Chains A and B, each alone.
Chain A
Amino acid sequence: MFDQSNLIYRYDGSFDGLLCCVFESYEKKEIPTEIILPDTSQTLLFAAKEIRTDIQKSSRVLSSIPEKMGFDALNFIRRAFLTCFTQKELYILLFLRLGYRHGRSIMGMLTDNTVNTLFKAVKHLDNESHLLKGFVRFSIFSNVMVAQIEPQNYVLPLMTQHFSERYPEERFLIYDKTHGMALVYQPYQSAIIPIEDLELPEPDEQEQSYRELWQLFYDTIEIQGRHNPKCRMSHMPKRYWRYMTEFGSSPKKSHLKLEDTAKLFIP
């Protein structure tokens, strides 16, 4: 193993691309100190090594993971790839290298630094996606349900199944502002597509009155004698409040042509 302290990989940002980095690391018997995205603009002291994404290589790595360390591990790194942890690529690579050495027991090595760091990142992702299953607020515009979120992690893939099972007969759209992606669903089809920006129309009368009913309910259900804002904040951090109906912040009001949202749905 060469000890190259200045080795940097640059990959295309896809999961397959990352798996090719793992392949490269084994083929060249080297461990990078950093794995960066193509558009990283920081000035680097050393030139980054370009890793080309090759489906053949990545599928070899992909099929070896469940074989060597079980499906749990594969599922785990897939989720780790969705987290907002800045060094996730490097840590996934290190995790896989450990996994090839230790086999299935890798998922139990919680005190190892690499494994522990990734576990914490994945826990953050799981927590956030669980919270958002409750905190997402839809507004209904001519029978299409639209919601906006601004999560730290890329949670949309983890929410697809939940909302598809919950509203099988509806048409809905969940716009992730942080990542510029949207989950769109119409009966029995769902997709995650990139969207630049989303502007929503004024709510109609019915929509407005249900929002007000909900705000009324929210304000009334509190027992004044037990007011405890700190407890509320620890369960429901303030960064989620922005898009929640009960805090009076309905999605941005402006002009939208509904035909545009209609086009987003899968033909």
Chain B
Amino acid sequence: MDVFDKLKILTDAAKYDVACTSSGVNKKAAAGGIGSASASGICHSFSGDGRCISLLKVLMTNVCAYDCKYCVNRKSNDTPRASFTSRELAELTINFYRRNYIEGLFLSSGVLKNPDYTTEQMIETLRILREEYRFLGYIHAKAIPGTDSGLIARLGMLTDRMSVNIELPSQSSLQLLAPDKSKHSILAPMKYIQNRIQENSTDIIKYRHAPKFVPAGQSTQMIIGATPDTDFQILNLTEGLYKKYKLKRVFFSAYMPVAENALLPTLDSTPPLWREHRLYQADWLLRFYGFTANELLDQQHQSFNPFLDPKCNWALHHMDFFPVNVNRAPYSDLLRVPGIGVNSAKRIVISRRSATLQFNDLKKLGVVLKRAQYFITCGGKAAGGFKITQDKVLQSLMSEKTLGMYHQSFPLQSQNKQLSLFEQPPMIPSGCPQEDLQRCLTSPI
């Protein structure tokens, strides 16, 4: 089997890993070495599915001793198997890196023999890269659950980022679909890595040249839609991981049906991409916008609104928070306005020092007025000078078609209307479809 076949098999087996980021660490090659990394991360290409390709994402081997039901590489699956030798993989990485195809290496692996043996193979590859080629580019390695902590420590000294996959969002789902893994075997290495990073950061204060342990932090990923866990559970778990384990990122991957199993969605089901998208939006709100999981979802509303993004949804249910005065509101309040993002909020804070902002100024700063106008005031004035109701805002945030679907799944609560003695009967003929009705009622908002 030549390198072409191996690369094909082992890339194909690795492509369901989501993380391909190269961010979180700044460094440059010393004389005689090769490679650097920038904290913002650099995307080198984008594949046909629109995902960033930043790292050479391959498995060391796709031979696996485990039999996780959702995984293409499970023991019981009849698929061609291959393994890279450490030297082969190191050479491939360096040659890709020299041509600027990649930012570094993303190394994961199936479990060959046992977790310790597999990790030793990975360590050898990274050792060749770091010591023989003096490679300083980005390396992301997966910690295999169940590996000896001494080996994880060695792996961590060679990598920039490590990750342990949570795989499924709850212990019961794990038991059902990944019988060889348990919550404990996943969280133990995660905790260990976190402790080592913590220790290392105090070492670096004492000794400037102390070798760095996983300087870009750790991340994890979980599969969405293979099990009945709700968005609320997933989001809470995510928040917990950020707080307790100090993760840099939590990735979600919509379940792609790769296996026929009574416990899993059928092979012809489509991946729940919109759900993954909403989770990522919520994830951003947690990390950069100061929201908490409980604000976005609660016991009564366990899943995201498919028609509205989580921030708009929050805003519509908290109309008492608005309008926000753009010229005075603190940064944290600006962030809560739909249509204002981190960048535009920062620009607002900077530019309002020298001038009073008007609506057309906001447009220049990158605010999406189409959404934001209902939630802000400039110099005491709202955009249209009209009274804003939840329904009006909804109409302008969505296309008519989606609005129709929205009303079907979320019927309007009874409107608090003042009773009138002379109530006009509805003037619209009853045959008029809902959408047309809305159009003629609401066009000049």
Contacts and interface: CB of A to CB of B under 8 A. Distances in A.
Interface string B228-253: 00000000000000000000000000
6 contacts: A111-B351, A134-B44, A210-B99, A221-B57, A228-B49, A236-B45
A235 interface: yes
A262 interface: no
Nearest to B363: A111
Contacts of A235: 43, 46, 50, 52
A229 B33 CA distance: 37
A12 interface: no
Given A133-B42, A217-B7, A228-B49, A105 B353 contact: yes
Interface string B71-101: 0000000000000000000001001101111
B237 to A, nearest CB: 24
A108 B103 contact: no
B15 A137 contact: no
Contacts of A166: 28-29, 34-36
A169 interface: yes
A222 B353 contact: no
B49 A232 contact: yes
A102 B28 CA distance: 39
Contacts of A85: none
Given A134-B103, A137-B100, A221-B15, 19 more contacts: A105-B354, A108-B351, A108-B353, A112-B355, A116-B364, A134-B44, A135-B45, A139-B99, A147-B100, A166-B28, A167-B98, A170-B98, A212-B4, A218-B45, A223-B15, A226-B254, A229-B48, A235-B50, A236-B46
A213 B42 CA distance: 21
Interface of A: 102, 105, 108-112, 116, 130-131, 133-140, 145, 147, 162, 165-170, 210, 212-214, 216-218, 220-232, 234-236, 244-246
Greatest chain A CB density within 10 A among B4, B31, B35, B43 is at B43
Nearest to A139: B99
Interface residues of B, number: 58
A212 B103 CA distance: 18
Contact of B8 (A111, A167, A220, A236): A220
The binding surface of chain A is classed by DSSP as helix
Nearest to A138: B99
Given A213-B3, A228-B49, A169 B34 contact: yes
Given A145-B98, A213-B92, A214-B101, A167 B34 contact: yes
Interface in B94-118: 95-96, 98-101, 103
B222 interface: no
B337 interface: no
B32 A134 contact: no
Interface in B1-26: 3-4, 7-8, 11-12, 14-16
A216 B8 contact: yes
Max chain A Cβ within 10 angstroms of own Cβ: one of B56, B100, B256 = B100
Contacts of A109: 351, 354-355
Contact of B16 (A130, A147, A212, A223): A223
B99 A214 contact: yes
A227 B365 CA distance: 33
B47 interface: yes
A102 B29 CA distance: 42
A244 to B, nearest CB: 7
B94 to A, nearest CB: 11
Residue of A111, A135, A140, A218 with most partner-chain B CB within 10 A: A111
Contacts of B103: 134
